[in-house]
């Protein structure tokens, strides 16, 4: 049997375009002699649709588009994710189309409600009788949707007992570093456990903070990977499979008969790819994920140009380089805004990077703005000494200029703060935090360096000047300022943050890993106090299991501390 795993990049809410994308992939698969074409979870409307599901007009249009996809499903069986509405109740469903009509529907059983997921807000789970089996040319086929495969008592368990030979899973499984290998272990383990061929079709593309990496795959009944689709790109992966004999004594209930497509001349297809996923620590995978998330956010929100405040530091260098790679240099402009504090080398390094990337640049000194603000505020500040307030005026002057350019040019401002800084509040609200997308807000500082080194090692030579990579990190808001004046070195800070934010470890367990107790206490204090800043930040692309924003939901008003007892 010939399968097609259609790893597509839908846009949430763009129903007509999603239909056209699905129909085009169906035609491609049909032309290759495919019997069954599998699409991702909620492919019709895009994942996650969130409160669009509360709009009656959205649901009506989605149903109409489902009917149009059904009509296009001739001479092929199509399994497509969408929303089913029955008696005023919504279900996350897999629709089975064949012969130009809908022949069956499978509802999702296990609705995730953790981390970035909140499906129970919208959907009802499948009932006991909502797991039909299908027969296609004598092969017993079962379906499931994303989370159904991750739980130990999902639909596949009952299907296997009933003799399933081929199991199809529709997914919208978001990316974080290392997730591809976790999924592969799951898919191969389930296939081997239940003695069936397992096809997993995942969404690809960016949706707000989330990145979907694709990585669709097919595993054999012995757990062998038969094919894996390349991550981070749309593709139609065609795989020839030979379903094994059923393990059970027979099917408990008569399966739904699917019309077998008429025999067609079999087109020769190349052997399916088997793409090895790198280790979670591989910076190249993270870089590609950030490129995809940035590009889709930019294009799906109909921007035509991007602005980056280029300071001569490593964070803004990485963001500018990602933008040039993801969007094309002609769509990116660097804005250099030196102050009286900025070193000459910072401006020179920023100019060198802009030239290497082939991006336009503006040089807008902020000294006149800062002096005007200080003069205006002088009467209100009388009798008070200089402190961090004056430093932040500089940052907010830059934010003012960036947002003015954004208004005038209709351009997307890319914020440049990293996860380490955002964690401890080492950022200026309405200053360097200003922007429409925080590209590296989930990238720890130590990983920022690794990503830059990786990018400089790509074919074509280095683009980020070595001076940017080797200078001590500094906000340059006061003379001779270094990040280490306020923070531990990043090789100490980042592991503490990982333990506290990703692992939720208490103070004493972090200290037990060999960190100074006073340092850990101060880091935790800073993380907790900065929550109000983070919840006013631009959305940030997620590349770790516990990103700020949709992944970590802490109250702003919160009096709990590690010293509560």
Is 508 assigned a catalytic role?
no
Question: Which one is catalytic: 6, 45, 84, 108?
Answer: 108
Which pLDDT value is given to residue 278? 65
Question: Which one is catalytic: 41, 119, 421, 476?
Answer: 41
Residues facing 235 on adjacent strands: 7
Backbone angles phi, psi at 551, to 5 degrees: -90, -25
559 domain-assigned: no
For residues 249 and 294, membership in a common domain is answered with no
For residues 311 and 361, membership in a common domain is answered with yes
95 domain-assigned: yes
264 domain-assigned: no
For residues 434 and 523, membership in a common domain is answered with yes
For residues 245 and 386, membership in a common domain is answered with no
Q: What sign for the dihedral angle of Cα 266, 271, 275, 276?
A: positive
For residues 241 and 382, membership in a common domain is answered with no
- The CA distance from 96 to 492, in Å, is 53
371 domain-assigned: yes
- The CA distance from 232 to 563, in Å, is 44
Residue 431 near residue 395, CB atoms below 8 Å: yes
CATH of the domain at 240: 3.60.110.10
What pLDDT, in 10s, does the model give residues 457-502? 998 889 999 999 998 887 777 787 787 878 899 999 999 999 999 9
Residue 9 near residue 296, CB atoms below 8 Å: yes
Residue 104 pLDDT more than 70? yes
Is 146 assigned a catalytic role?
yes
For residues 429-458, give the mean pLDDT: 96
The pair of three-digit structure tokens given for residue 37, joined into one six-digit string: 């074409």
For residues 241 and 182, membership in a common domain is answered with yes
- The CA distance from 392 to 430, in Å, is 9
For residues 222 and 299, membership in a common domain is answered with no
For residues 405 and 514, membership in a common domain is answered with yes
270 domain-assigned: no
What pLDDT, in 10s, does the model give residues 46-75? 999 999 999 999 999 999 999 999 999 999
For residues 247 and 289, membership in a common domain is answered with no
Which pLDDT value is given to residue 258? 84
Structural domain harbouring 461: 283-534
CATH of the domain at 358: 3.40.50.620
What pLDDT, in 10s, does the model give residues 24-51? 999 999 999 999 999 999 999 999 999 9
Residue 355 near residue 465, CB atoms below 8 Å: no
Other C-beta atoms closer than 10 Å to the C-beta of 339 total: 19
What pLDDT, in 10s, does the model give residues 239-291? 999 999 887 655 556 788 887 777 666 677 777 777 776 666 689 999 999 99
497 domain-assigned: yes
For residues 385 and 423, membership in a common domain is answered with yes
For residues 56 and 161, membership in a common domain is answered with yes
Backbone angles phi, psi at 16, to 5 degrees: -65, -45
Residue 564 pLDDT more than 60? no
Question: Which one is catalytic: 6, 45, 146, 201?
Answer: 146
Number of domains in the chain: 2
């Amino acid at each position: 049997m010939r399968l097609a795993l259609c790893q597509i990049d839908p846009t949430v809410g763009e129903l007509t375009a999603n239909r056209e994308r699905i129909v085009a992939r169906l035609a491609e698969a049909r032309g290759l002699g495919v019997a069954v074409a599998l699409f991702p979870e909620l492919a019709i409307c895009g994942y996650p649709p969130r409160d669009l599901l509360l709009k009656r007009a959205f649901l009506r249009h989605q149903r109409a588009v489902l009917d149009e996809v059904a009509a296009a499903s001739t001479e092929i069986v199509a399994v497509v994710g969408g929303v089913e509405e029955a008696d005023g109740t919504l279900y996350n469903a897999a629709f089975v189309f064949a012969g130009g009509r809908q022949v069956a529907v499978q509802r999702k059983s296990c609705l995730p409600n953790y981390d970035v997921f909140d499906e129970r807000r919208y959907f009802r789970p499948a009932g006991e009788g909502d797991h039909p089996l299908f027969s296609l040319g004598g092969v017993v086929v079962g379906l499931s949707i994303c989370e159904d495969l991750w739980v130990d008592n999902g639909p596949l368990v009952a299907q296997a007992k009933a003799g399933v030979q081929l199991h199809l899973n529709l997914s919208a499984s978001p990316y974080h570093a290392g997730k591809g290998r976790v999924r592969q272990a799951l898919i191969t383990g389930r296939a081997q456990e239940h003695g069936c061929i397992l096809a997993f079709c995942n969404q690809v593309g960016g949706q707000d903070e989330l990145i979907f990496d694709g990585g669709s795959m097919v595993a054999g009944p012995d757990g062998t990977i038969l094919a894996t689709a390349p991550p981070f790109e749309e593709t139609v992966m065609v795989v020839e499979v030979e379903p094994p004999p059923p393990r059970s004594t027979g099917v408990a209930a008569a399966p739904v008969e699917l019309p077998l497509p008429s025999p067609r001349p079999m087109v020769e297809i190349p052997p399916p790819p088997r793409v090895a996923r790198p280790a979670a620590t591989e910076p190249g995978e993270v870089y590609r994920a950030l490129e995809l998330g940035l590009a889709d956010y930019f294009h799906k929100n109909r921007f035509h140009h991007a602005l980056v405040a280029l300071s001569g530091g490593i964070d803004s260098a990485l963001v500018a380089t990602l933008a040039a790679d993801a969007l094309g240099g002609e769509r990116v402009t660097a804005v250099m805004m030196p102050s009286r504090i900025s070193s000459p080398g910072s401006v020179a390094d920023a100019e060198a990077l802009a030239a290497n990337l082939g991006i336009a640049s503006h040089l807008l000194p902020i000294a006149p703005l800062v002096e005007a603000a200080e003069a205006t505020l002088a009467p209100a500040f009388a009798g008070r000494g200089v402190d961090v307030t004056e430093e932040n005026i500089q940052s907010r002057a830059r934010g003012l200029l960036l947002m003015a350019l954004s208004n005038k040019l209709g351009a997307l401002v890319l914020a440049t703060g990293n996860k380490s800084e955002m964690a401890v509040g080492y950022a200026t609200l309405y200053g360097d935090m200003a922007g429409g997308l925080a590209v590296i807000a989930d990238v720890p500082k130590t990983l920022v360096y690794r990503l830059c080194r990786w990018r400089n090692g790509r074919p074509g030579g280095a683009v980020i000047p070595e001076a940017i990579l080797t200078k001590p990190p500094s906000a340059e808001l006061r003379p001779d300022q270094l990040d280490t004046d306020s923070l531990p070195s990043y090789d100490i800070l980042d592991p503490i943050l990982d333990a506290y934010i990703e692992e939720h470890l208490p103070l004493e367990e972090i200290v037990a890993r060999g960190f100074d107790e006073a340092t850990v206490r101060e880091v935790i204090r800073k993380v907790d106090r900065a929550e109000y800043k983070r919840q006013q930040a631009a959305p940030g692309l997620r590349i770790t299991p516990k990103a700020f924003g949709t992944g970590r939901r802490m109250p702003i008003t919160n009096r709990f501390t590690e010293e509560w007892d």
